[in-house]
């Protein structure tokens, strides 16, 4: 099949890609949805996606009453970094269909491959490189979490992985501020030296721990490094937003959204 080139802003020149299209007209894709409850949406019009890696396209029908999408499945504490909708919305809708058998037409793919197609589709919509890889790593967490065999073991790995990195990040911050001296790689050094050592550990430790993720090790590495560097702002936002939700519930009787 002939390759396609990205015509959207943000795509590198000459970047070989797939494309989204409208199955009804074979023209440009049109994303039309109906709100179910403000969080879940159904398609009013089908969308299609051609990948250079497959001879036939993927299609998400617009008449499936069972199909639901929440666009980008981003936890609320991370929406400051990746909003739930944007130029990447068609890729998110496609991924929601690919991970549920029967919600799309096209070549059969497992969840890991669906995640990879999602990453490629993100770039095809003009999503920046770093954000594309972060979003791919995020959906790979769900893939690891929902792994079919030995699910409890996979979930234990994810929980332990996130917990260890979060705790180390907080302890390292206290070490940097001289609240205590616990971590051997920090030691008693200048602020700049400890900052550099902490940054190096925030890369090396997640990369080593991600080996427990098997074939999703790269996703684990990206997730771990991002968490190590963003844990402080994420915790701060989580605290502030949680306080807001409490106040909103007290004042209006409804959960904050």
The residue with greater pLDDT, 90 or 16, is 90
* Whether 110 and 162 share a structural domain: no
Q: In angstroms, rounded to a whole number, what is the distance separating the alpha carbons of residues 59 and 50? A: 9
Confidence of residue 256 (pLDDT cuts 50, 70, 90): low
Strands 4-5 and 47-50: unpaired
* pLDDT the model gives residue 3: 32
- Segment 49-76 shows an average pLDDT of 86
| Residue 93, domain extent | 4-121
Are residues 154 and 191 in contact, defined by beta-carbon separation less than 8 angstroms?
no
- Segment 76-99 shows an average pLDDT of 87
* pLDDT the model gives residue 8: 40
* pLDDT the model gives residue 39: 85
Q: For residue 144, tell me if it sits in a domain.
A: no
If we measure between CA atoms, which residue out of 123, 124, 119, 97 comes closest to residue 108?
Answer: 97
Q: For residue 129, tell me if it sits in a domain.
A: no
- pLDDT tens for 167-220 read 999 999 999 988 999 999 988 889 999 999 999 999 999 999 999 999 899 999
* Whether 85 and 168 share a structural domain: no
Q: Which of 103, 121, 139 is the last residue of a domain?
A: 121
Task: Specify whether the backbone of 214 is left (phi greater than 0), alpha (psi in -120 to 50) or beta.
Answer: left
Q: Tally the domains of the chain.
A: 2
* pLDDT the model gives residue 66: 79
- pLDDT tens for 119-164 read 999 999 999 999 999 999 989 998 999 877 788 999 999 999 999 9
Q: In angstroms, rounded to a whole number, what is the distance separating the alpha carbons of residues 149 and 221? A: 22
* Whether 117 and 20 share a structural domain: yes
Indicate whether 15 pLDDT > 60: no
**DSSP codes of every residue in 193-238:** HHHHHHHHHHHHHHHHHGGGGGGGHHHHHHHHHHHHHHHHHHHHHH
* pLDDT the model gives residue 77: 63
* Whether 161 and 84 share a structural domain: no
* Whether 159 and 92 share a structural domain: no
Neighbours of 47 (CB within 10 A): 24
* Whether 37 and 110 share a structural domain: yes
Reading the block at residue 132, the tokens are 């594309």
* pLDDT the model gives residue 248: 87
**DSSP codes of every residue in 101-153:** TTSSBSS---HHHHHHHHHHHHHHTT--HHHHHHHHHHHHHHHHHT-STTHHH
pTM: 0.81
Indicate whether 12 pLDDT > 50: no
Give me Rg for the CA atoms of the chain.
Answer: 21
Q: For residue 133, tell me if it sits in a domain.
A: no
Are residues 166 and 231 in contact, defined by beta-carbon separation less than 8 angstroms?
yes
Q: In angstroms, rounded to a whole number, what is the distance separating the alpha carbons of residues 9 and 170? A: 39
Confidence of residue 79 (pLDDT cuts 50, 70, 90): confident
Q: For residue 146, tell me if it sits in a domain.
A: no
Helix 151-176 and helix 129-145, axial crossing angle in degrees, nearest 10: 130
Q: In angstroms, rounded to a whole number, what is the distance separating the alpha carbons of residues 245 and 84? A: 19
* pLDDT the model gives residue 5: 38
Mean residue pLDDT of the chain comes to 86
């Amino acid at each position: 099949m002939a390759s396609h080139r990205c015509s959207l802003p943000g795509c590198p020149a000459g970047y070989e890609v797939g494309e989204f299209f409208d199955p009804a007209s074979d023209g440009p894709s049109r994303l039309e949805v109906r709100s179910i409850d403000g969080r879940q949406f159904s398609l009013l019009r089908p969308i299609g996606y051609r990948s250079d890696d497959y001879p036939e396209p993927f299609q998400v029908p617009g008449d499936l009453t069972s199909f639901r999408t929440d666009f980008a499945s981003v936890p609320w504490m991370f929406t400051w970094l990746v909003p739930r909708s944007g130029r990447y919305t068609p890729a998110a809708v496609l991924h929601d269909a690919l991970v549920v058998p029967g919600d799309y037409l096209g070549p059969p793919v497992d969840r890991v491959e669906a995640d990879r197609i999602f990453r490629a589709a993100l770039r095809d919509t003009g999503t920046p490189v770093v954000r594309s890889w972060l979003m791919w790593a995020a959906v790979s967490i769900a893939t690891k979490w929902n792994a079919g065999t030995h699910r409890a073991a996979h979930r234990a790995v994810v929980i332990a992985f996130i917990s260890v990195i979060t705790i180390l990040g907080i302890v390292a911050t206290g070490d940097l501020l001289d609240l205590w001296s616990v971590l051997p790689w920090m030691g008693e050094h200048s602020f700049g030296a400890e900052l550099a050592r902490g940054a190096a550990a925030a890369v090396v430790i997640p990369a080593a721990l991600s080996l427990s993720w098997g074939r999703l090790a790269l996703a684990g590495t990206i997730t771990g490094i991002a968490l190590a560097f963003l844990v402080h702002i994420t915790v701060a936002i989580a605290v502030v937003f949680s306080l807001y939700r409490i106040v909103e519930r007290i004042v209006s009787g409804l959960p904050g959204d």
